[in-house]
Amino acid sequence: MKELVNRIEKDGRILGEDVLKVDSFLTHQVDPLLIKQVGYRFASHFAEAKVSKIVTLETSGIAPAVFAAEKLGVPLIIARKSKSLTMKEELLTSSVYSFTKQETNQISISSKFLSKEDHVLIIDDFLANGQAAKGLIELCSQAGATVEAVGIVIEKSFQEGRQLIEDMGTNVVSLARIASLGDGAISFLEGDA
């Protein structure tokens, strides 16, 4: 997605060798005009895919996911990282290990929101090692739902996430694909949409 790549080139900052800071338009401050275009790009890419629900993981996947859900006319489910006090019903749960934070989190969705009739599009802001996306796929599988694809705003193609998800049999569609953050420069691969 050209507009997204342009914005990453303009405002993205490299931390170390492998972290891209995009807090001015995606992960902290949100540019609603750009992120709406991002959400709508997912919606048009998956317009024929019979998606019945979108699933994301709190926090930074929510903004692009809500625009995609609005355009596709389907509900958005936000998987939780910590148990909310009001979540007393039956839960679908999965463990997500973060290599970055070196900790395991339980993620969950109330089982009443997903069924075997559902066709799910998973959306997240970053794909790094793929553990979050894997956990979300597992939640959908527990419900018997079909995962149509994983839609990613920024894929770090030098990490293992995409391979892991494709090896699970799930298609990955990334709007920006980063080949490398080495030598202080951001280099891109051709995006999927």
> Which residue has tokens 């290990």?
97
98 binds, among ligand G4P, Na ion, none (CB under 5 to 8 A by kind): ligand G4P
Pairs from 12-18 (Cβ < 8 Å, separation ≥ 24):
12/186, 14/181, 14/184, 14/185, 14/186, 17/181, 17/182, 18/156, 18/158, 18/159, 18/181
Binding mask 70-109 for ligand G4P (x = CB under 6 A): ----------------------------xxxx--------
Distances in Å between the Cα of 45 and the Cα atoms of 36, 78, 146, 172 are 14, 21, 18, 12
By CB under 5 A, which span of 22-30, 40-48, 111-119, 151-159 interacts with Na ion?
22-30
Closest approach, Cβ 112 to ligand G4P, in A, equals: 24
Amino acid 112 reads K
Binding mask 59-98 for Na ion (x = CB under 5 A): -x--------------------------------------
Closest approach, Cβ 40 to Na ion, in A, equals: 20
> Residues in contact with Na ion, total (CB under 5 A)?
3
Q: Is 16 helix (H, G, I), strand (E, B) or coil?
A: coil
156 is annotated as contributing to ligand binding: yes
Residue ranges at the known binding site for xanthine: 20, 27, 156
Residue ranges at the known binding site: 20, 27, 128-132, 156
